[in-house]
Structure 1
């Protein structure tokens, strides 16, 4: 599953994309809200898009991965299955990314595959967020679905990638979930192997 993504989107690209779909941003927000990173992994902090009290879409730093359920010896919940669930009462968010990664192979280092969205400067992954407990910061997880034709040769699941026109529909849930939380058509994602695996 997706436990690593890239955030190389510039703030200018981000603002231009939101303006094109009429999503307001906080007037005080600056490029500092969208730090860049070649790899954001489980436990790292990444910028997340959420609806603020004034209905603007703000970028907010959160930890990648929900803490494990209390009393369970498990790792963070970084991917969350979307099928058969309602998210109307959930805190929905978008994770901006220039690419996400999937890995193949059984030995380290595994082959690393980079996925980008065709015909768009960047993509957003549908997610959920929770407030932190105690002195912990808020955290987010990525929603997953069955793999589309672009991902299926690499992995048996994939994160939900949303096109820009669907970003407001997910944040405000103004479209049925089954129309949003599904794989994109063939040819929507480009893939390249950026690291060969061990033999």
Structure 2
């Protein structure tokens, strides 16, 4: 499951997209630091939009990715099946996410790293939830059975949302089942990040 994602989009573009969709976004803690980040990893601070007090609105804040689960293991992914999530929903801002597969070449020491991006827009939101913890608020990504684009790479997937689903996910009265579904085949582009294709030939 996803333990690494990317966000390199500037705050102005993000704010403009929410404005275009008539989703009112407040920044109660000031403008979050959205410096371009190629790798956002478990326990990092990252921007989310959590449900606002008014229907169809949200709050843009920086929060920790993952909270401590049983035995202290980080809960960075959370199964969505059979759950309604009637509160504490959030949108996780991203422009790509990574999956890892076992290398085909035995000389390759690390797993092969793949980057998934949305074909029709520069960035997207991942369905998530947040909660209070002793260390402060934290968020996790929801997962489901993989769609056709992700299935060749992993047995589960996080849930990228289309732009017309953002407002619905921020509204806890909208049933989760109406929002949480895999994107149609061909919605995601996939590119090999590691090993670089030029370097891969040297391993042959």
- Length-normalised TM-score, structure 1: 0.88
The aligned residue for residue 25 of structure 1 is 25
Q: CA deviation at 1:60?
A: 1.0
After superposition, what is the alpha-carbon deviation per residue over 1:27-74, rounded to whole angstroms, capped at 9, x for unaligned?
Answer: 7776544333111111111111112345642211111112113xxx25
- State the 1:105 CA deviation: 0.7
Match of 2:121 in 1: 120
- Please state how far the C-alpha of 1:176 moved relative to its aligned partner: 2.8
SS of the residue 1:178 aligns to: helix
| Distance of aligned partners of 1:109 and 1:103 in 2 relative to their CA distance in 1, 3 Å threshold | same
1:75 aligns with 2:73: yes
Q: Please point out which of 79, 91, 95 is paired with 1:94.
A: 91
Q: Gapped runs of 5+ residues in structure 2?
A: none
How many residues matched? 193
- Label 1:174 to 1:118 Cα distance change in 2 as closer, same or farther (>3 A): farther
Q: Is the 8 A contact 2:32 2:47 kept in 1?
A: no
User: Cα 1:15–1:141, aligned 2, differ >3 Å: closer, same or farther?
Assistant: same
Task: Say whether 1:178 aligns with 2:181.
Answer: no
CA distance in 2, matches of 1:176, 1:191: 30
- Which deviates the most, 18-27 or 161-170? 18-27
Higher gyration radius (CA): 2
Alignment of 1:35-50 (within 5 A): 35-50=35-50
CA RMSD of aligned residues (A): 2.2
CA change 1:30–1:13 in 2 (3 A) is: farther
Q: CA deviation at 1:191?
A: 0.6
Is this contact kept in 2: 1:80–1:142, CA < 8 A? yes
Match of 2:4?
A: 4
Question: Structure 1 174/108 Cα, relative in aligned 2: closer, same or farther at 3 Å?
Answer: farther
Q: Does 1:158 align with 2:157?
A: yes
Structure 1: 5+ residue stretches without partners:
none
Within 5 Å, which residues of 2 pair with 1:186-197?
186-196=185-195
CA contact (8 A) 1:105 1:111 kept: yes
Show the counterpart of 1:144.
Answer: 143
Cα distance in 2 for residues equivalent to 1:102 and 1:16: 29
